[in-house]
Amino acid sequence: MLELHAQHIRMHQSADDKSAALVLLADALVADGLVAPGYLEGLRAREAQGSTYLGQGIAIPHGTPQTRDQVHATGVRLLQFPDGVDWGDGHRVYLAIGIAARSDEHLRLLQLLTRALGEADMSEALKNAERAETIIDLLQGAPQELALDSQLVALATAAEDFDELAWQSVKLLKKAECVESGFGNSLSLDDALPLGQGLWWLSSEQSVLRPALAFVTPARTLSHRGEPVTGLFCLSSLGEAHRSMLERLCDLLIEGRGEELARARSSRVVLEALGGEVAADWPQARVILANAHGLHARPAKILIEVAQQFAGDIRVRLAGTDGPGVSAKSLSKLLAMGVQRGQALEFLAEPGIAADALPVLVAAVEEGLGEAVEPLPAELDEVLEAPAAYPQTDTAAVARLQPGERIQAVAASPGIAIGPALVRTPLTMDFKREGESAQVEQQRLDAALDEVFAQIDRLIGESEVASVRDIFVTHQAMLRDPALREDVLAKIQQGLSAEAAWADEVEVAARQQEALHDALLAERAADLRDVGRRVLACLIGAEAEQAPDEPYVLVMDEVAPSDVATLNRQRVAGILTARGGATAHSAIIARALGIPAIVGAGAAVLGLARGTVLLLDGDRGELQVAPNEGELQKAIEARAQRLERQRLADARRLEPAVTRDGRRVEVAANLGSSAETADAVEQGAEAIGLLRTELVFMNHAQAPDQATQEVEYRRVLDALDGRPLVVRTLDVGGDKPLSYWPMPAEENPFLGVRGIRLSLQRPEVLEVQLRALLASAEGRPLRIMFPMVGFMEEWRAARQLVDRLRAEIPVADLQVGIMIEVPSAALIAPALAAEVDFFSIGTNDLTQYTLAIDRGHPSLSGQADGLHPAVLRLIGMTVEAAHAHGKWVGVCGELAADTLAVPLLIGLGVDELSVSARSIALVKARVRELDQARCRQLAQQALNLPGAAEVRAFVTEQD
Cross-strand bridge partners of residue 85: 93
Q: Considering the candidates 242, 475, 585, 868, report the single residue annotated as catalytic.
A: 585
Q: In this structure, how many other beta carbons lie within 10 angstroms of the beta carbon of residue 462?
A: 11
**242 noted as active-site residue:** no
How many distinct helices (H) and strands (E) make up the chain?
36, 33
Per-residue DSSP letters for 459-503? HHHH---HHHHHHHHHHHHHHT-HHHHHHHHHHHHTTB-HHHHHH
Prior bond of 596 cis (ω within 30°): no
CA distances from residue 588 to 23, 580, 595, 876 in whole angstroms, order as listed: 60, 12, 10, 32
Closest by CA to 773, choosing from 702, 699, 674, is 674
Q: How far apart are CA 41 and CA 691, in angstroms?
A: 49
CA distances from residue 22 to 6, 127, 650 in whole angstroms, order as listed: 20, 18, 73
- Three-state DSSP string of 65-129: HHHHHHECCCEEEEEEEEEEEEEECCEEEEEEEEEECCCCHHHHHHHHHCCCCCCCCCHHHHHHC
DSSP H helical segments within 145-286, as ranges?
Answer: 162-175, 183-186, 243-254, 258-262, 267-274
Q: Are strands 212-218 and 153-157 parallel, antiparallel or unpaired?
A: parallel
Closest by CA to 52, choosing from 13, 106, 16, is 106
Cross-strand bridge partners of residue 344: 288
**892 noted as active-site residue:** yes
**296 noted as active-site residue:** yes
**What is the Cα 379 distance to its own chain's centre?**
21
Cross-strand bridge partners of residue 912: 666, 890
Each residue of 572-584: b (16+ CB within 10 Å) or e? bbbbbbbbbbbeb
Q: How far apart are CA 883 and CA 88, in angstroms?
A: 65
Query: Within 13 A of 133's CA, how many CA atoms are on the CB side?
Result: 0
Q: How far apart are CA 287 and CA 387, in angstroms?
A: 16
Cross-strand bridge partners of residue 786: 818
Are the CB atoms for 116 and 332 separated by under 8 Å? Answer: yes
Q: Considering the candidates 296, 475, 517, 868, report the single residue annotated as catalytic.
A: 296
Residues 6+ apart with CB under 8 A from 115: 140, 141, 144, 332, 333, 336
Q: Considering the candidates 62, 242, 517, 868, report the single residue annotated as catalytic.
A: 62
Q: Quick one: 543 exposed, middle or buried, by C-beta within 10 A (0-12, 13-18, 19+)?
A: exposed
Helix (H, G, I), strand (E, B) or coil at 868: coil
Question: Annotated catalytic sites, by residue?
Answer: 62, 296, 585, 892
